[in-house]
Amino acid sequence: MIENPILQLKDVCISYTPGKNAVNAVNAEVEKNSITAIMGPSGCGKSTLLRAINRMHELYPDIRITGEILLNQKNILKMNPMDVRRMAGMVFQRPNPFPTMSIYDNVLAGYKLNGLRLSKREKDEIVETCLTNVGLWDEVKDALFKKGTFLSGGQQQRLCIARALALKPEVLLMDEPTSALDPIATNRIEELLLVLKKEFTIVIVTHNMSQAARISDYSMFMYLGELIEYDRTQKMFTNPADKRTEEYLTGQFG
Q: Is 130 left (phi over 0), alpha (psi -120 to 50) or beta?
A: alpha
Question: What is the span of the domain harbouring residue 29?
Answer: 5-249
pTM of the model: 0.95
Is 78 a domain residue? yes
Is 254 a domain residue? no
Give the pLDDT score at 254.
Answer: 57
pLDDT in tens, 122-154: 999 999 999 999 999 999 999 999 998 899 999
Is 170 a domain residue? yes
Is 62 a domain residue? yes
Is 135 a domain residue? yes
Residue (of 143, 147, 108) closest to 127 by Cα position = 108
Contacts of 52 (CB under 8 A, 6+ apart): 12, 14, 23, 65, 69
Domain count, the chain: 1
Give the pLDDT score at 100.
Answer: 94
Provide the CATH number for the domain around residue 203: 3.40.50.300
pLDDT in tens, 53-69: 999 877 777 889 999 99
What integer is the mean pLDDT of 222-234? 97
Is 216 a domain residue? yes
Is 52 a domain residue? yes
Is 96 a domain residue? yes
